[in-house]
Amino acid sequence: MQYSLLNYSVKEMTMKIALTGTLILLCSMAGFSYSDTTSEGGCYRISNLRVSNAPEKKNNGSNWDSVWGEADIYIECFVKEADGAELTGFVTDRRQDAGTCATWDIEPVLPICEMGAPGESYISFLVYDKDAFSDDFMDSGTIDITELS
């Protein structure tokens, strides 16, 4: 189905997502819905992506990187739609020796087709420390897509 630009509605917002630990993820989002109601879906452009307040060390007290010490932060983002489909949204490049904060100057667009009821659809952010052999999970958080409409 094709939609003309005249049928889109746009909503700009800034999101502050407190992840499960102390880490905070900040971003701006612009939502473009396919019609006057967001239940039909749309897409979200993410910009000004920033991680702050990342832990300086792993839970066990060791450094993130055994050789250099500071975390090499990157983010993986995916969308889970109401129909259960999980779509990879994007993966940022790593920020070498970022330590406790990192920023990205990117503007990925996440298509969302099935909004569903609250709790059924969300955008998930997973934060990692990049390593040579096995990346370390740092934190994660989600945005319920219905909160964006």
Q: Please report the pLDDT score of residue 24 as a whole number.
A: 73
Does the pLDDT at position 10 exceed 80? no
Confidence grade of residue 74 (pLDDT, cut at 50, 70, 90)? very high
pLDDT bracket for residue 16 (50, 70, 90) = low
DSSP string for 5-33: GGG-EEEEEEEEEE-SSS-EEEEEEEEEE
What is the percent of the chain with per-residue pLDDT over 90, rounded to a whole number? 13
Band the pLDDT of 32: cuts 50, 70, 90. low
What does the pLDDT look like over 75-133, one tens digit per residue? 998 888 777 778 778 899 999 999 889 999 888 888 776 666 666 778 888 899 998 88
